[in-house]
Amino acid sequence: MSQPNYVIDQMISAKSIAARIEELCFEIQREFANTEKLVVVGLLRGSFVFIADLVRELDLNVEVDFLEASSYGDTMESSREVRILKDLRGGIEGQDVLVVEDIVDTGFTMKHVLGLLRARKPRKLRSIALLDKPSRREVDVKADWTGFEIPDEFVVGYGIDYAQRDRNLPFIGKVRFVEGDA
């Protein structure tokens, strides 16, 4: 089955993303000012670009770990069943933890992951999402920090994909499907 044809319209520029990350890091540093070490947990795969830029900007002692959760696969719709595909390598009990998500949509993944990590008894657990689509929320969950609130559009770029494509775009773009050749 071939991929549908689409074009990508830029929504959020690379420059706007960089400026927002700088602002968010200032707030995160204030929240975790007294921490010995901040365990930054990236939710794979969509958050990898965001987490890289975030930790480079943070003026804190950080440890980076990853957790891979999936409720989408290669489709545009959430299955609402969250599966953990890769768990953390290290323990987080008594640690200060920041969960980094690319996008909060229905909220199922974020709620599941925060519940899973909360059960591991971190000292402090906070979350950040690059993008938030509150109009799509189906469960009561909200990131402590959000980069950008966006409308109900399917987006790619800056680590976010459509069927494993377009993660490498330096900006966030809206996917627009077209008839015939794109």
105 labelled catalytic: yes
Residue 38 sits at the vertex; the CA angle it makes with 167 and 110, to the nearest 5 degrees, is 50
Catalytic pick from 96, 105, 161, 166? 105
First to last CA, the chain: 17
Phi, psi of 137 (to 5 degrees): -60, 130
Sheet containing strand 155-156, edge to edge, reads 6-12, 172-177, 155-156
8 A C-beta contact, residue 138 and residue 107: yes
Q: Which residues does the annotation mark as catalytic?
A: 105
